[in-house]
Amino acid sequence: MNCGKSVSNPIINRLPKYYRILCFLKKLGVRNICSKELGDEAGVSPSQIRSDFMCFGGEGLRGSGYNVNILINKISEFLGLNEVYNLAIIGAGNMGQALAKNRSLERKGFRVVGIFDTNDFIIGKKIGAIEIKSLDHLSEFVNQNHIDIAIITVSSTYAAEVINKVIEVGIKGIWNFSQVNVNVPADVVIENVYLSDSLMVLAHNLKNYKTASQFMP
Amino acid sequence: MNCGKSVSNPIINRLPKYYRILCFLKKLGVRNICSKELGDEAGVSPSQIRSDFMCFGGEGLRGSGYNVNILINKISEFLGLNEVYNLAIIGAGNMGQALAKNRSLERKGFRVVGIFDTNDFIIGKKIGAIEIKSLDHLSEFVNQNHIDIAIITVSSTYAAEVINKVIEVGIKGIWNFSQVNVNVPADVVIENVYLSDSLMVLAHNLKNYKTASQFMP
């Protein structure tokens, strides 16, 4: 069975987690894993694992479980991780610089090829080997270089305007680090990263732990 | 009805999103919102909104919906966002520096008070007003300053060791940016941030869009 394009978003959203865990297990020398063990690691039930993997042709063998290498390749292929993606960072502030210097993204096939900003004080400076260009030159740059994904690391104030510009020049993928939620056309895909959401959950759990421990003997 | 401590993790995980949307609506001058509108913004059903809000005493009025200000305060209180949290960043590399300079965290009550690293070349330098200290001094620092949360921005290779050290010196909250999944004791809370997970989902959706568009007229 192969669900192909009908794989639902919740399944797709779980695949990077499985991929991460499987790569970690591979490093440890693990060759096979059963749905129970992988489910325990991923925080989902064994039947969820089996049902998720059936959707893209990841089949286990009764007794020996899933082959870790095969599963990694299947997920890679399904998610499109065997390809190389060209990225342009829009906003060369702190987060933009951190992502530009992040080598682990490059190892996964996500290659930063352009960095843009509107601040005259930093335009012309370099981050690694890449010169920061004026945002006014984005259109020209996109005409000469294929860009798959724009990383939006400008402040919330300018985010909507910048995202519209990115769409206007024909970039189809947006990885949005601004706190702004922008509606995009149907032929553009966007993933929003809200860093502080998980910090708020952490704060809540921390507060609850404190409150609970006050009543401990 | 107030579910108090029995509020489930999925609900808690949705609250920061509601909080973000409500703060945005408040900025736009919106005073009241119904569950349908808020559900549309948050990508959940109106009945999910009503059920989630009942759990912490957020009550709407038939006809006029929820008061945005009251709801923001209720969620703030529930998540513990009215308090101030002291943060220590462990790992003063690119991501550590970006988070140290992030003013929006401070505005939410998350205040970086210490930055630590093991690299002699950067120990003693400053990020903003904070001097980078040797990780060897973490224990002494924690004895003199209350630290609620450690932000782990070291590379995966050292992450498990560093997290163990953080727990050993008594820090109870961990915001983990390394790609390593570490089991922590029951009295420690941890939130893992896997940045590249959403990039992988983006890659998949982008690839699927490309494949689909090849068959378009």
The 3-class SS string of chain B reads CECHHHCCHHHHHHHHHHHHHHHHHHHCCCCEECHHHHHHHHCCCHHHHHHHHHCECCCCECCCEEEHHHHHHHHHHHHCCCCCEEEEEECCCHHHHHHHCCHHHHHCCEEEEEEEECCCCCCCCEECCEEEEEHHHHHHHHHHCCCCEEEECCCHHHHHHHHHHHHHCCCCEEEECCCCCCCCCCCCEEEECCHHHHHHHHHHHHHHHHHHHCCCC
pLDDT interval class at A54 (50, 70, 90): confident
Give the pLDDT of residue A2.
Answer: 45
Q: Which residue positions in chain B have pLDDT lower than 50?
A: 1-5, 215-217
- pTM reported for the whole predicted model: 0.85
Give the pLDDT of residue A144.
Answer: 95
Sort out which chain B residues have CB atoms less than 8 A from A204's CB and list them.
12, 15, 78-80
Binary contact (B194, A83; C-beta < 8 A): no
Q: In chain A, whose CA is at the least distance from the CA of B190?
A: A202
Q: Please indicate whether residue B55 or residue A211 has the higher confidence score (pLDDT).
A: B55
pLDDT 10s digits, A124-148: 999 999 999 999 999 999 999 999 9
- Three-state secondary structure call for residue A42: helix
Count A/B contacts: CB-CB distance under 8 Å: 184
Nearest CA distance, B186 vs chain A (angstrom): 9
Nearest CA distance, A10 vs chain B (angstrom): 11
Using CB atoms, pick whichever of A19, A24, A201 lies closest to residue B191: A201
Binary contact (B108, A199; C-beta < 8 A): yes
**pLDDT higher than threshold 80 for residue A215:** no
Q: Which two tokens stand for residue A78?
A: 């399904």
Q: In chain A, whose CA is at the least distance from the CA of B107?
A: A196
Sort out which chain A residues have CB atoms less than 8 A from B12's CB and list them.
201, 204-205
Binary contact (A205, B189; C-beta < 8 A): yes
d(CA A153, CA A211): 37
Handedness of CA B78, B82, B88, B93 (dihedral sign): positive
Using CB atoms, pick whichever of A105, A173, A213 lies closest to residue B206: A173
Sort out which chain A residues have CB atoms less than 8 A from B17's CB and list them.
194, 197
